[in-house]
Chains A and B, each alone.
Chain A
């Protein structure tokens, strides 16, 4: 069974540009989560999507946004990039049965570098 996949693996942008990151969940999973992991730090929760809707959001500015498609894949968009947005962006998925504490399985991440 394929795990969570993410693309691209690496992305280099300059300040002010926009970045789009993509995630495909494990087959059968409907919930997708996004996390930011800055260098040397733990993971910070960004967004949670389920059944195409944003369900929860972490403490990040509105220029971090995303969406979930009918096939449950997801995009994370970061507008007006800043240097401190450089990080590993991790996507996770869970089965989405409606429980409040479902186990999340992570993809390999997209490393974003803002110059």
Chain B
């Protein structure tokens, strides 16, 4: 199945550092969503973006919907240990069908 290209694959940072990850596609998407998945759990929605160029924040998280509609980034500021997990981007392709990125595994050292 199709997946979005997400980078980096993994990151190991120190508590307090800022983090940036991005997602790209060769196709245009009409929405971009960012989810976080903890081990053994389902993904939890962090931020949803619906318009090209849109910049949205949720606490320490900021995400943007690229102008070309083919990319998105997620920034996490002042990381804390509970930010550990796998972050997935996702976009709607066709009616209600979500395509997911390959994931970015984040590890935070206290």
Chain A count of residues within 8 A CB distance of the other chain: 28
Which partner residue on chain A sits nearest B103 by CB separation? A42
**Chain A stretch 91-108: residues in CB contact (< 8 A) with chain B:** 92, 94, 100-108
Measured as residues with beta carbon below 8 angstroms from the partner, the interface class of chain B is 20 to 34
| Per-residue contact bits, chain B 81-110, to A (CB 8 Å; 1 contact, 0 not) | 000000010101011111111110000000
Known contacts A33-B98, A43-B100, A58-B1; A103 and B88 CB within 8 A of each other = no
Q: Does A4 contact B (CB under 8 A)?
A: yes
Query: Which A residues are in CB contact (< 8 Å) with B1?
Result: 44-45, 58-59
State the majority secondary structure of interface residues on B.
loop
Known contacts A44-B1, A58-B1, A101-B50; A109 and B100 CB within 8 A of each other = no
**Chain B interface residues (CB < 8 Å from chain A):** 1, 3, 30-31, 33, 35, 40-45, 48, 50, 88, 90, 92, 94-103
**Chain A interface residues (CB < 8 Å from chain B):** 4, 31, 33, 35, 41-45, 48, 55-56, 58-59, 90, 92, 94, 100-109, 111
